[in-house]
Amino acid sequence: MDTDQHPSPDGTLTIIVVSYHSHEQIKDGLSALLSSPEFAVIIVDNGATEESKTQLETLHLPATIISAGTNLGYGRAANLGLRQAKTSFVLLLNPDLEATRESVLELLRRAGNEDFKHTAIHAPATLKRDYSEGALPRKSNWVSGSAMLFDREKILRIGGFDENIFLFSEDTDLCHRVIAANLEITLHPDILFEHQVGRSSPPSPETEFLKWWHFGWSQCYRMTKHRKTGFWRQPIRKYLSYRLHALLATNPHKRRKWRAKAEGSLAFIRGIPAFRKDGSPQMS
């Protein structure tokens, strides 16, 4: 841990950002928000290199930077921040989001309302097409993991994110368990935190293959865990579908993507976990 946490003045909100070489994205979209004195800030550095830590430090944000030591994936890193936070509410943000201080404060104000005492997760719209000015908050069964405001005590009570998952489906799994625990998820479509999808880390063929391998693995894991195994949801059918797409794809990029998904789903079928014994992700 590199700096002391700057607690929010009323002990209400901590913002957590999971970074994987994401300093440029944080600088472009979140630096103004993370510099706000109202909030405590934790950045979990999944880059796991001296360079990634130094790059985050050059942003000069009033934040606690936790060096994970390896690439923990999204859920494990978020849990690390959740356990470190001391505030009643925790806002988990992707580094490629754009959110304002005012919109965060409005979401936080609503979360403290007695009407939402059973809500474990509050979420804004993250895409412009889902934003609706003047729309009322509504219950939902799923919201995007790119922006989730947690009632920290409720989320820790159900165990946080599933740490068997490296990447993808961790938000769907968490939402499923929130509902199963008779808690609620509230979507606020009149608040927008715009998500620049796919920009959370610098692109590379290796990173892309890693991501899509775990997409295939996580899809099979989630379906099996929650017994969503209808005709098209069986892991073996997922594998065969991904493999067929890879064979038919004419675009090399798409062929590589489908092949990665197929290999990840096949690894799940063979009983290979998402993480190696040393804590590093498979295919890293």
Q: Where are the domains of the chain?
A: 13-195, 205-269
Which has the closest alpha carbon to 29: 17, 20, 39, 41?
A: 17
Q: pLDDT band for 232, please (50, 70, 90 cuts).
A: low
Contacts for 249 with CB less than 8 Å, ≥ 6 apart: 255, 258
**In this model, does residue 8 exceed pLDDT 50?**
no
How many other CB atoms sit within 10 Å of the CB of residue 246?
18
Q: Over pLDDT 90: what percentage of the chain?
A: 83
Cut 0.85: pTM above it: yes
**CATH topology for 13-195?**
Spore Coat Polysaccharide Biosynthesis Protein SpsA; Chain A (3.90.550)
How far apart, in whole angstroms, are the C-alpha atoms of residue 229 and residue 222?
A: 10
Question: Region 219-227: what's the mean pLDDT?
Answer: 93
- What's the DSSP call for residue 262? H
Comparing 29 with 215, the larger pLDDT belongs to 215
Distances (CA, A) of 259 to 58, 216, 224, 242, 245: 38, 10, 21, 7, 8
* Mean confidence (pLDDT) of the chain: 92
Question: Region 90-102: what's the mean pLDDT?
Answer: 95
Which three-class secondary structure state does DSSP give residue 161? coil
- Give per-residue pLDDT as tens, 118-175: 999 999 999 999 999 999 999 999 999 999 999 999 999 999 999 999 999 999 999 9
Comparing 184 with 232, the larger pLDDT belongs to 184
Write the single-letter amino acid at 236.
Answer: I
pLDDT reported for residue 48: 77
pLDDT reported for residue 49: 83
Question: Region 3-29: what's the mean pLDDT?
Answer: 78
